[in-house]
Amino acid sequence: MASGRKRRSGRQPAQGLTEEQAGRMLAGMNEVIRAGEEARALRTELIRLLTGLGWTQERIARLADMSQPAVSRHAAKHHANGPQPAADLSLDQTDAPWLEGRLWALAEAVSHTLDGAARCTRYTDALARGRKRFTPGSVDALRRLVEEDLRLHRAELPRGYRDVYDRISRGLDVPARTAATATATAGPSVRRALAHRIQRDRFDDAAPASREDTGP
């Protein structure tokens, strides 16, 4: 009787593979597929943004390791939509995607400085690999982890990291009135990626001279 219940539970092997094992495999594949689709969409948006900044298709193709006709197809929609406002790439902007990108960069910098021993390391890696998405809940969780790392490892981390975190945190707590204007030139994913890259570069540029001056 007990063995019958086991067979009906779905956890007994069916031709050598359990339902639980199959479920985990398919879930993992779905994560990879979703991350790939999101990466392709992000690349398309970034190509359109670079086109709007006046970059040549040849230059974009070389940097993206793509053919020029492929870049041309991505850029075509930008031209079809007409001229867009110039993208603002200054670091200290206040719309949520921009602040989330800066928070992501800060978490990576904290993890790198602590050689992967930071509380935020696993969460940051999951975001980078597409296993987690940027949602209000995931951003709040990342904020808590980064704040905990800043508190626990105060002596090991540059003081500027705390300043950057405080600015990001205040911005996320108070929704920006200019958010609609700020996101007009690109979608949230692109703005998040741009802010992430610019903030990481700011950290890297500051590192040789002073680990305390890490930007606004």
Report percent pLDDT > 70 for the chain.
78
Average pLDDT of the segment spanning 196-211: 78
DSSP label of 17: B
Confidence at residue 77, expressed as pLDDT on a 0 to 100 scale: 67
Confidence at residue 183, expressed as pLDDT on a 0 to 100 scale: 42
The residue ranking higher by pLDDT, 59 or 1, is 59
17-31: pLDDT as tens digits: 888 878 888 887 887
Confidence at residue 147, expressed as pLDDT on a 0 to 100 scale: 97
Confidence at residue 11, expressed as pLDDT on a 0 to 100 scale: 52
pTM, rounded to two decimals: 0.74
C-alpha of 59 from chain center: 24
Q: Tell me the C-alpha distance between 148 and 157, whole Å.
A: 12
Dihedral sign for Cα 214, 137, 124, 155, please.
positive
Average pLDDT of the segment spanning 95-106: 96
Average pLDDT of the segment spanning 52-76: 88
Question: How many other CB atoms sit within 10 Å of the CB of residue 173?
Answer: 9
Q: Is 181 helix (H, G, I), strand (E, B) or coil?
A: helix
The residue ranking higher by pLDDT, 93 or 207, is 93
Average pLDDT of the segment spanning 75-100: 77
Confidence at residue 180, expressed as pLDDT on a 0 to 100 scale: 46
pLDDT over threshold 90, residue 90: no
Report the C-alpha dihedral over residues 153, 155, 159, 162, rounded to 10 degrees.
Answer: 20
Report percent pLDDT > 90 for the chain.
42
Confidence at residue 125, expressed as pLDDT on a 0 to 100 scale: 92
116-159: pLDDT as tens digits: 899 999 999 999 888 888 999 999 999 999 999 999 999 999 98
Confidence at residue 177, expressed as pLDDT on a 0 to 100 scale: 52
